Amino acid sequence: MQGFFIFRKLFAQTVAMLDNIVHYFDHIPSLHRALILAGGISFFWLVETADPLFRFQYHKWKHAGINLFFTATTIVINFLFAVLIVKTSDWALAHHFGLLQLVVMPLWVYLLAGLLLLDLVGAYLVHYIEHKIKWMWKFHMVHHADTHVDTTTANRHHPGESVFRAVFTILGVFVCGAPIWLVMLYQSLSVVLTQFNHANIRLPLWLDHFLAWFIVSPNMHKVHHHYMRPQTDSNYGNIFSFWDRLFGTYNATPVEQVHYGLDVLDDTTDEKLAYQLKVPFDGKIKTDY
């Protein structure tokens, strides 16, 4: 009998916690979202400085400059698309449209299913497509051009690519019928975990391997930043690693064999902003397609 009361208490606390999460992300202030972004970069910056995976011979602040520029353009574009995301979510809920609206489910199942679906459509799918369609790949090349991958690389996206990702976010919200609190929760988790798996940090191998069964670990994502195929065309996941394993795009190349950059680009251009902005429009740059 005592065990039953303990279980009931834990269940009630879990329900209350989930309700608090829903309420918080349904009304999350813009300042809090900014703090999540800045706090994540700052934290992983300190960790990778203290114990880096690779000891780069580079000027860390100069390297961060171009990546933070692209982070700023990503924020602006996301802000411009925010109204469309909210309206799409509101329309889906009002019309009971989307996969999440098909059946009634417990809140914790709803939350997990929503995160998985948003990750599949809004992150994995667009990332996969960017590697397969030539003109989209040329925008995405700017992300892969970084030869010193660290936590600031996480949001190094050409403005054109940021538009692609915003459109697929809207598509994900539409397909899922996701409420705005779920979208805000997903985007917050996405920001922090993307900073985590790009960070130049060294985790114990057993821990990295364990995490890679569930989420995209640092070593798993570093393989994606290898300078040539087939590694470049693998490990597309953003938060969850399930999709790469399910669709056969998982690659377990040892991280010690990874070399950053792209074999079709001059490594010395990775910190030249004007050059990187023009990459998608430069017909002289090979794409291997």
Handedness of CA 98, 104, 107, 113 (dihedral sign): negative
Instruction: Classify residue 212 by its DSSP letter.
Output: T
Structure tokens at 268: 């010395």
Name the phi and psi angles at 91, rounded to 5: -65, -45
- Identify which of 21, 236, 229, 4 has the alpha carbon closest to the alpha carbon of residue 126: 236
Query: pLDDT tens digits, the chain, 289 residues: what are they?
Result: 566 556 566 656 766 788 888 888 988 898 999 999 999 999 999 999 998 998 888 888 989 999 999 999 999 999 999 999 999 999 999 999 999 989 888 999 999 999 999 999 999 999 999 999 999 999 999 999 999 999 999 999 999 999 999 999 999 999 999 999 999 999 999 999 999 999 999 999 999 999 999 999 999 999 999 998 889 999 999 999 999 999 999 999 999 999 999 988 888 888 899 999 999 998 888 776 5
Give CA–CA dist 163/203, Å, rounded.
Answer: 33
